[in-house]
Amino acid sequence: SALFDRLYGSGAFAVWQPPPPAETPAQPDFMIITQREPAPNGHDAGDPPPDEAEPADHANGQPDEAPGGVIISGIALTPYSYERLDNLRGYESGMPNPGFYHHMWLQEGEANRHRRLLSMVTAMLRERNQVVSSADLIAVETMAQALAALRGHRQVWRRDLIDGIISALVKDELAYDVGHPFLEAIHEVFRGDERGKLDDATTLPPLVADIKETLKRCDIEPPRTRNRYIGIDLSTKDGLAQSRVLHQLRVLGIPGFRQMDGTNLNVADGELIEEVREAWELTWSPEFEAACVEASIYGPTLVDAAQAKLVETADLLGKAERADAAAAAKVLLDAALMGLPGSATEFYEKLLDLIHQDSNFFTVTRALGLLLFLYRFDKLLGTAQHADVGELLRTTFQRGLWLLESLGAVQGQDKDLLGGVRALLQTFERCASILNTDRDDFLAVFERISHDNAQTPVLRGAVAGVLFMMGSADGDAVIADMRYFADPAHLGDYLNGLFALAREVIQRQPDLAHSIDTVLADYGDEDFLTALPSLRLAFTPFTPREKHAIARVLFEEQDDVTLLQALGTNAEQAAQVLAFETALFQALARYGVNLDDDQ
């Protein structure tokens, strides 16, 4: 059409429509218009001038490649809504509050057209238990009329009405980019709830039908009247099929499918993975069909579209300002969860490049935890012992080990630091044969860190735990290292790192428990209270049975001690009482009051 010719001629859109085969009658087909930015000189860089361009050749029935490398394949109508059109909801090319203009257009020629909108806002506020009196409405009307006259508007317009409501009804201070119940009601009414609908005879992209058929086949269609919650066990055939489809929809951004919970597959977090389960919420969304149409740019079937979306995600990660190995591993995990581990080979090299470029120890080791699960522990997703996953694991391990030694003293990231060291240890213990790093080289890194006095107590404790677990350090070495950090501000942090990597050390080495007890006995009341929070954190990983065993070691020579007596109070209250008693005794001593056993 003339309109398409104008658009294409300006460089704003590129259009291609496949010609009908010569032996069959012409049939209607769908097209996709792909928007692209024109070059400053009117044509894309590298394109021949318009008069030198070769004519398009559609003899092979395949779509052309548009200038700039964009493949053009057709056009499809997409249902839209005022909610998506509203630029206050993030659509920068939209318009603010489209429902307001729709209302004003329908009421063209009537006086005081804004009053119906004001009554709708009032009704919504009252439904939400917000107080709006008749006097408030008179104040809003007066203020809106005055603002319209001041701004030269012939009638009250959108901004006049909004400012009138804010000035008359909102009594609180409005912070930038912070919501308010009155503002939310105003914009909800002004946004409108109109929603477009395609004619039943409209030709839709094949992806829409494929998604609907897949949902029906897997019995995961969202009901229209209520939310549906499902639990999935990936060890079953049906559960695995449902999970793959749901993850494909999640990656494509199709609304109505939200993963609420699932097994943590990152081995670095220290959780035992016995089974892989997921919990999903299925909700009917009016934007479902529109999102399916928009996702059809990635492919005609759900599997093809999800795979293309993954490739696009990997490309975008490669163009980011800072490489993120954890995000790269997440792309691979998504491919596995969607049942596409084999097809993921086309971006394995991109993921390798991202890992090589990442200089952040925490994101690299976060990726290592995911890769270790996929290569060593996966029994369901098809990635175990996969050669390409093994190459990623090897590269990530070597990168993480190198970054650990050059990490420096990091503060405020203890949990991630311990998780990263744990991932390195577990990877070496379980996959040493493919890592191209022998035992001596691995231990040498931790030996050097253990002699670095500038390192934090947490990392020194974690390193001591690694050396103990690998048999490179005995109990006496751990005790000597612990005494080096006997300061109340450092002891708990050191033990936190030690027990996070080697919780067995205190059970195998009773002398360590006695040494800790000796250090604590030498503390004054104030020093003990200083060390108490980090000490409690350090002993958190132990189970009640393990804590009982540690206590028995300490009191094994005292026959008159009964273990595990209930305190009748929690640890916080006990600490407060101890602090009060300490202050009380200090006050008594200050005034010369001495208490002995006979008083």
Helix, strand, coil percentages in the chain from 3-state DSSP, rounded to 5: 55, 5, 40
Q: What is the dihedral of CA 149, 151, 157, 158, to 10 degrees?
A: -140
Nearest-CA neighbor of 2 among 397, 500, 10, 54? 10
In terms of DSSP H, where are the helices of 180-301? 181-191, 206-217, 237-252, 288-295
Nearest-CA neighbor of 183 among 206, 167, 199, 203? 167
Show pLDDT as tens, one digit a residue, over the chain (599 residues).
Answer: 343 343 333 333 333 334 444 444 444 333 334 343 333 334 443 344 444 444 444 444 454 444 444 455 567 788 888 888 887 776 677 788 888 999 999 888 888 889 999 999 999 999 988 888 999 999 999 999 999 999 999 999 999 999 998 888 887 777 766 678 888 888 899 988 888 888 888 888 899 999 999 999 999 999 988 899 999 998 899 999 999 999 999 999 999 999 998 887 766 555 556 678 899 999 988 889 889 998 999 999 999 999 889 888 888 888 888 888 888 888 888 888 998 766 555 668 888 888 888 999 999 999 999 899 889 888 888 888 888 889 999 999 999 999 998 888 888 888 999 999 999 999 999 999 999 889 999 999 999 999 888 889 999 999 999 999 998 888 888 888 888 988 999 999 999 999 999 888 888 888 888 888 888 888 888 888 888 889 888 888 888 888 888 888 877 756 555 555 555 667 777 778 778 888 888 788 777 777 654 44
CB 265 within 8 A of CB 373: yes
Amino acid of residue 160 = D
Q: Tokens 């008594």 sit at which residue?
A: 588
Q: What is the dihedral of CA 491, 494, 499, 501, to 10 degrees?
A: 180
Instruction: Write out the DSSP string of 59-115.
Output: TTS-PPEETTTEEP-EE-----BHHHHBGGGT-TTSBS-HHHHHHHHHTTT-SSTHH
How many CB atoms lie under 10 A from the CB of residue 426?
A: 18
Reported for 26-29, long-range contacts at CB under 8 A and 24+ positions apart, including other chains, are: 28/203, 29/74, 29/203
Please return the burial class of 178, using the count of CB atoms within 10 Å of its CB with bins 0-12, 13-18 and 19+: exposed
478/468 Cα distance (integer angstroms): 8
Reduced to 3 states, what is the DSSP secondary structure of residue 561? coil
Q: What is the model's pLDDT at position 37? A: 39
How many CB atoms lie under 10 A from the CB of residue 308?
A: 15
Maximum C-alpha span of the chain: 115
248/258 Cα distance (integer angstroms): 12
Amino acid of residue 478 = V
CB 513 within 8 A of CB 554: yes
User: Which residues make Cβ contacts (< 8 Å) with residue 343, sequence separation at least 6?
Assistant: 307, 335
Beta strand 277-282 pairing with 228-233: antiparallel
Angle at 123 between CA 117 and CA 125, to 5 degrees: 105
Reduced to 3 states, what is the DSSP secondary structure of residue 43? coil
Distance, C-alpha 351 to centroid of its chain: 19
254/469 Cα distance (integer angstroms): 47
Q: What is the model's pLDDT at position 13? A: 34
Q: What is the DSSP letter of 434?
A: G
Q: What is the model's pLDDT at position 568? A: 65
Count how many Cα atoms sit within 13 Å of the Cα of residue 75 in the half-sphere of its side chain: 12
CB 240 within 8 A of CB 380: yes
In terms of DSSP H, where are the helices of 406-484? 414-431, 439-450, 457-469, 475-484
Q: What is the model's pLDDT at position 504? A: 81
pTM for the whole structure: 0.68
CB 501 within 8 A of CB 469: yes
Amino acid of residue 119 = S
Nearest-CA neighbor of 415 among 459, 445, 449, 478? 459
269/47 Cα distance (integer angstroms): 52
CB 536 within 8 A of CB 502: no
102/120 Cα distance (integer angstroms): 15
Reduced to 3 states, what is the DSSP secondary structure of residue 416? helix
